[in-house]
Structures are given as structure tokens and as C-alpha cells.
Amino acid sequence: MKNNNDIFDEFQQSLESLKGNFHVLETDIPVEKQMEYFNFSEGVRKSIDKNAVGSQIGVLNDVSATARERKYAMAYLAVSGDVKAYRALETYSKEHSERDDWMAMALLQAKITLESEFSDQKQVFISTGLGGKGHSLRFFSLFKSNDLKPFSAYQSELIGKEIPFHIHKYGGETEELEIEENYFTVVFLIDLKANIKKMLEEALGECNQYGDFINRSFVVTNMWRYNEKQIQIELHKNE
């Protein structure tokens, strides 16, 4: 997502129109892998035998189970709508500290399934590649200097103060701020209904009062973090 008015407006309007109880995946799992999980779990849901919760908990905790069997057990328990199944997933997750994207997806789906069973409120899952926390989404943003001129020490100091200040002003949290020679990147958490466009434009406007040194064209995405190659391509676009 770039600072194109139509894209920002559509994004904001889509979030503002959402009603219900929001669930944000906190782990940064690629969207393709999320879709793989949900397609798999939907197939499990269609053929589920609700009397097999106990046996699938057994498979989950069986050290001799294959990876495929364990993945099936996780998806089965997630869609079963059974409290014992949720507790089994929760316990397994706590006892296995190594990262497991499939388990993270299963645990969130189990929570959503249970809340759907016991609440009349609509459950809304918001999928992004960078994840989030609570009702906040995580974003990566890239800004460059005008004409790719190196930032002065004072300009870098100003960026370091103003960007986190404005993110905090809108109720967000700056997780990372990396200032390089002629660009900087920010990773931040922000409430999913916050006006991101206004927040970032205010921050740039404040910085640019002191020399108009940051380009007004910037990149914001909640899908992935740019690597160095992607950053360089973006920096030299339209040259």
C-alpha cells in the first residue's frame, strides 16, 4: 500500500465498515501460508467427526505422530468447537516454545470457533502478512530523502523524534525505526481503525518544516518487510 489517496481511502473505509469482535494474528505469517492453513482446515471441517476430539488430542501429543497427522489434529481441534480441544492446543503451544505457524493459526481459529459458539457477536479475522497485537495491525513503511540526498545529523535526529511521537499520538507503538543515509524504515503497531494516512502525513509535514528534505511519496504495507534489494528498487523508481 502506498500513499495513494484512493488506496488509503479504500483501506480505511473497509476497516471502518467492519462490525463485530476482531481477531488479529499476532505472528507474522505469510498470507500464502495462512491461506494454505484455512483451505486445509475447511476440508477438515467438512468431514469432521465430533466424537473424535479425544483421539485427536492423543495424536497431537503423540511423539511418534507424523507431521501430517499432527497438522490434521491441530486443524481438527481448531474447528471442533470443543473447549477441551482449545485447552489441548493452548497447552501444546505453551509446552513447545519453538515457532510453529500451523499451531498459531490453529489456536487462533479455535478461539474464534469457540467465541462463535458462545456469542451472538460476529467474529472477524483480519489477515495480514505482518500480523499485529490485540486490535492493532503491524505495518512496515519506507521513506526516502528528496533527490536521495544524505540526511544531515540534525535531520536524522528530527526523524528519530517526530516519527515515533506522531505514531504514539495516534495510539500506536513504534517497534523499529532504522535511519540510513538517504532513507528510513519504520515498523509500527496501530489500531486497525486509526487514520494511518493522516498520521504519517502529519509526521512528514512536521519534519519538512525544517528544510523539506523527506519525499512525500512513501510506502506502507502490512504484508511484508522490504529487504535491501526491494528497498533499493523502490528508492530508484522513476529515475
DSSP-derived secondary structure for 84-115? HHHHHHHHHHHH--S--HHHHHHHHHHHHHHH
Per-residue confidence (pLDDT) for residue 1, from 0 to 100: 44
Residue 194: strand, helix, or coil: coil
* Tens-digit pLDDT profile for residues 158-206: 999 999 999 999 999 999 999 999 999 999 999 877 888 889 999 999 9
Q: Give burial (CB, 10 Å; 0-12/13-18/19+) of 227.
A: exposed
**What is the grid cell recorded at 152?**
544531515
Pairing of strands 123-126, 21-24: parallel
**Does residue 117 register a pLDDT over 50?**
yes
Which residue did the predictor score with more confidence, 225 or 3?
225
132-235 CATH pick, 3.40.50.620, 3.40.50.720, 3.90.1150.10, 3.30.70.1290: 3.30.70.1290
**Does residue 76 register a pLDDT over 60?**
yes
CB 133 within 8 Å of CB 31: no
Per-residue confidence (pLDDT) for residue 159, from 0 to 100: 97
The mean pLDDT of 140-163, rounded to a whole number, is 96
Per-chain mean pLDDT for the chain:
86
C-alpha to C-alpha distance for 202 and 208, rounded to whole angstroms = 10
Count of beta carbons in the 10 Å neighbourhood of residue 180: 15
Which residue did the predictor score with more confidence, 13 or 105?
105
**Does residue 17 register a pLDDT over 70?**
no
The residue ranges of every structural domain in the chain are: 29-126, 132-235
**What is the grid cell recorded at 15?**
476497516
